[in-house]
């Protein structure tokens, strides 16, 4: 396993060319895709021919330091979904997006917060990142609560793009949250040693 980082309960690794079925299964759940496509699954051929090749190309572009990472439970190895830590297309390497997509069976376990917090720590201590940002739909209160729990602040709202299909709550637009390295350092200092709960992978 090409491990990227570990938390108390999760292992994040780089995807491989053999992982298309994991992504297809994840994107086939209407509940998972509720705020992304209105519940419609991502066509398998799109995942095999576009999404997965783009993920693998990202590792080459960013030397494996940034991108989309598969998450598995340490106990049993079950695939729980993925996390993302990468810049916008053609964006600066010190401004990166944080996000995740988890299988429904993994919801409610605190995995989204645990994995996201580990990625924030890695971004600000190892990768030279200055700002981490995240977006979601305004009505997606679950994700918004996690962003707030991570210490991220609401910095902007925006209308839903006109080319987006029928998605519940789309008329309320989206939101953008951010956290800077300075803000994270203040939180880390206040929380003491409890903040560093991830272990870097051995190269």
pLDDT higher than threshold 70 for residue 165: no
- From the options 2.130.10.10, 3.50.50.60, 3.40.630.30, 3.40.640.10, give the CATH code of 3-200: 3.40.630.30
Q: Select the more confidently predicted residue: 194 or 175.
A: 175
Whether the predicted model's global pTM rises above the 0.85 cut: yes
Over residues 66-72, mean pLDDT:
98
> Helix 111-125 and helix 141-149: axis angle, to 10°?
40
First to last CA, the chain: 12
Encoding tokens for residue 135? 């977006």
What are the backbone angles phi and psi of residue 9, rounded to the nearest 5°?
-120, -5
Q: Where does the pLDDT of residue 168 fall: very low under 50, low under 70, confident under 90, or very high at 90 and above? A: confident
Q: Mark out the alpha helices in 11-110 (DSSP H runs).
A: 20-26, 34-37, 44-46, 52-61
| pLDDT tens per residue across span 74-101 | 999 999 999 999 999 889 999 999 999 9
Over residues 54-70, mean pLDDT:
97
What's the whole-number average pLDDT of the chain? 91
pLDDT higher than threshold 90 for residue 126: yes
């Amino acid at each position: 396993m090409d491990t990227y980082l570990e938390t108390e309960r999760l292992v994040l690794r780089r995807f491989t060319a053999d992982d298309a079925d994991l992504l297809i299964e994840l994107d086939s759940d209407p509940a998972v895709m509720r705020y992304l496509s209105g519940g419609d699954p991502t066509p398998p051929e799109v995942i095999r021919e576009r999404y997965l090749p783009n993920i693998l190309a990202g590792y080459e572009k960013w030397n494996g330091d940034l991108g989309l990472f598969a998450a598995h439970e340490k106990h049993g190895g079950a695939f729980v979904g993925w996390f993302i830590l990468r810049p916008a297309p053609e964006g600066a390497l010190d401004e990166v997006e944080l996000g995740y997509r988890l299988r429904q069976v993994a919801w409610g376990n605190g995995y989204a917060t645990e994995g996201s917090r580990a990625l924030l720590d890695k971004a600000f201590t190892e990768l030279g990142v200055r700002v981490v940002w995240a977006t979601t739909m305004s009505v997606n209160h679950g994700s918004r609560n996690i962003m707030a729990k991570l210490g991220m602040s609401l910095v902007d709202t925006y209308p839903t793009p006109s080319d987006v299909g029928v998605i519940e709550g789309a008329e309320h637009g989206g939101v953008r949250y951010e956290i800077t390295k300075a803000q994270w350092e203040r939180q880390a200092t206040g929380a003491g040693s409890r903040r560093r709960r991830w272990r870097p992978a051995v190269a």
